[in-house]
Amino acid sequence: METASMTANDGAPFFLPRDPRTAHWYFSGNKPLITLLIVAYVYIVKVGGPRFMKNRKPYDGIKPLITFYNAFMVVCSAYYVYAFFTTAYIRIGYSPICQGIDFDARDEGTMHLLNLFWWYTMVRILDFLDTFFFVLRKKDSHVSFLHVVHHTMVAFNGWFGISYGADGHSMAFTVINGSVHVVMYTYYFLSSLGPEVQKYLWWKRYITQLQLVQFVVLFVHSLLPFFFNCNYPRSHTYILMPQAAFFFGLFMNFYVQSYQKKTHVSTKPVANGKMH
């Protein structure tokens, strides 16, 4: 099959045909559905939700639900990290340096990996609840450009992988990103337990640093198919690399605004409880 030999440095078309192994799966290749999903999400969190909450008090009664949700996400993310790693790199024998996609591969291990990715994408779409909780609790400052774009791109990437090939080289980043989600949701879970626990969560800033590192790793790792001929589609590479650079910039700006400037301000002299 011709698409099986497309590499990052050949003359392959930018967009690949649908992955034949998942062509009949729900959500695969469904452009109207992914478009509707993203548009509806953005509308709800930026327009409809705030409008609904305008004259209402925050729904703080959902805190137990948020705690359960965060614990659930920790368990889910940890499971998928383990499942992806053991299936791809131990069972199938993936190379962590450069791994192509064989669109003819329908062995048990490969199909299990693709099935895992489908369910993992559903879990990442469930991440939309993060934002819905912010809206219901009127924490509008948390519904930032970075937050919304990140969630929409995660949903798009999952759809793209299911539709055009989720296995291969990008599986390394799926494992890394899943590991970051384990740390992130562990922090959220502990934070939701209240002030007695929150005072020990001094390491929040290091989560952002970890996110920055993952985008550097993604960018560098995405370059490898240009130097190693491992039959990885260039369309995937062209989608991954700009995203890595884009999100690195957004998260770096968030880090500077949240931590570096606060550190600078906190060093100023304080008189009568006010900073000057």
* Active site residues per annotation: 150
Radius of gyration of the chain (CA): 21
Closest CA to 185 of 75, 65, 61, 41: 75
Residue appearing with tokens 């299911």? 162
DSSP per-residue codes, 19-56: -TTTTTSTTTT-HHHHHHHHHHHHHIIIIIHHHHHTTS
Residue 207 CB burial class (10 angstroms; 0-12, 13-18, ≥19): middle
Report in angstroms the alpha-carbon separations of 154 from 80, 121, 122, 159, 201: 16, 8, 11, 9, 26
Which token pair is 271? 């008189």
**275 φ/ψ angles, rounded to the nearest 5 degrees:** -90, 145
